Amino acid sequence: MKLKKTYITLSLVFAIAIGANAQLEKWQKGIVTQEFLYDKAPFPSCHSATIVETPTGLVASYFGGTKERHPDVEIYISRFVDGKWLTPVSAANGIQPDGKRLPTWNPVLYQVPGGELILFYKIGPKPAEWWGMMRTSKDGGKTWSDATKLPEGYIGPVKNKPVLLSNGNLFAPSSKEGKGWRIHFEVTKDNGKTWRTIGPIDSNGLDAIQPSILQHGNGKLQILARTRNRALAESWSTDNGETWSPMAKTNLPNNNSGTDAVTMKDGRHVLVYNHILPPGELAKGPRTPLNVSISKDGKQWYAALILEDSPISQYSYPAVIQTSDGMLHFIYTWRREKIKHVVVDPSKLKLKKIKNGTWPNMKGYSAPILTETKNEEP
């Protein structure tokens, strides 16, 4: 009798998994390619990926090591050459002049139009104490300049890519986590030689970090940010980012995990994030599923795609770009074990309106969260 009960339980689990996979497939129209950046790497854990298109091809970066915060964590680079991702190569570490080793964090890549590739990253024992660094490459990430420390108090783009505005300002969306979570911007007109700060933005009682920038034209900008308030937060500017409205909640959920966004060539906006509320009143919850939404105005969002979902958590810290051929490229942490890259044709996406912050047709979709992955960090 006991054996029969076990059999029924297993059957139910498999049925749930099969049903979830069938529903997931319905949300994956438009996917052209999905692949891991590597099969094997010299590190067991990785996180916080960034991707950029260079004149010589795609380049990705992320941090890898024993686990987040461990002193052996380094910044790695992967280059896409002749249709495949090459073996990860270390591009930066946290070894100090006195020999002490500190962890590295959150790389961000930026390709200067007609110029060098910039790698921004951080060094420090924890986010409240890290500082900004940068290196440059003249050959699409094959070789790198010596590391340069950003001016005192600057960290560069904290997670998401900087945006070049029509007035020549390179706007790096940034934030600090020391005495409360606050968003600010670090601005340069000379690709990192000199900097100035805008902000911090009026938090309006919200704990927000890691913003991404959307461009609405005529100097109008919008940011979307991670929070500890169970919702994505936003702020708006009408003067090319010199002043910003107080932070406010959107109707989209947030599980206290990173997001990213980009404005496409056709003017529409793409957001990639975990569309899920944590249990009860908690700020943090499982980092699955990983969703993509699209909007014309940055206010009304439409469900477009589910990149990943399973009973195992941790599909997180995504980045998104649109390449010169019009394709969308997503890159994200896959269970802290690998970095995944997904190419999407935006013309193939089927959109459904998100009403009251609820992903459409979710009834019976997600399998229960059965386990969390190792190396889980804030």
Q: For the segment 39-94, what is each residue's pLDDT rounded down to a tens digit? A: 999 999 999 999 999 999 999 999 999 999 999 999 999 999 999 999 999 999 99
Strand 182-188 and strand 170-176: the pairing is antiparallel
Q: Terminus-to-terminus CA distance in the chain, angstroms?
A: 44
Provide CB contacts within 8 A for 104, sequence distance 6+: 63, 73, 74, 75, 92, 93, 94, 121, 122, 123
Cα dihedral sign, 8-11-15-16: positive
The CA distances from residue 210 to 20, 198, 340, in Å, are: 31, 15, 21
What's the rounded Cα separation, in Å, for the pair 113 and 327? 19
The CA distances from residue 81 to 55, 220, 222, in Å, are: 12, 37, 34
What's the rounded Cα separation, in Å, for the pair 339 and 310? 16
Going by C-alpha positions, the residue among 264, 265, 311, 313 that lies closest to residue 292 is: 264
Going by C-alpha positions, the residue among 284, 343, 294 that lies closest to residue 316 is: 284
Q: What predicted TM-score, i.e. pTM, was given to this entire model? A: 0.92
Q: Which residue bears the tokens 């200067």?
A: 112
Query: Per-residue pLDDT averaged across 217-230, rounded?
Result: 98
Instruction: Say yes or no: domain 31-353 is CATH 2.40.50.1070.
Output: no
Instruction: Give the tokens for residue 78.
Output: 């992967």
Q: Please tell me whether residue 121 adopts helix, strand or coil conformation.
A: strand
Q: Which residue bears the tokens 């920038």?
A: 213
For residue 4, pLDDT over 50 is answered with: no
Q: Please tell me whether residue 298 adopts helix, strand or coil conformation.
A: coil
What's the rounded Cα separation, in Å, for the pair 215 and 234? 13
What's the rounded Cα separation, in Å, for the pair 351 and 65? 38
Query: Per-residue pLDDT averaged across 188-197, rounded?
Result: 97
For residue 12, pLDDT over 50 is answered with: no
Q: For the segment 256-298, what is each residue's pLDDT rounded down to a tens digit? A: 999 999 999 999 999 999 999 999 999 999 999 999 999 999 9
What's the rounded Cα separation, in Å, for the pair 65 and 72? 6
What's the rounded Cα separation, in Å, for the pair 347 and 127? 39
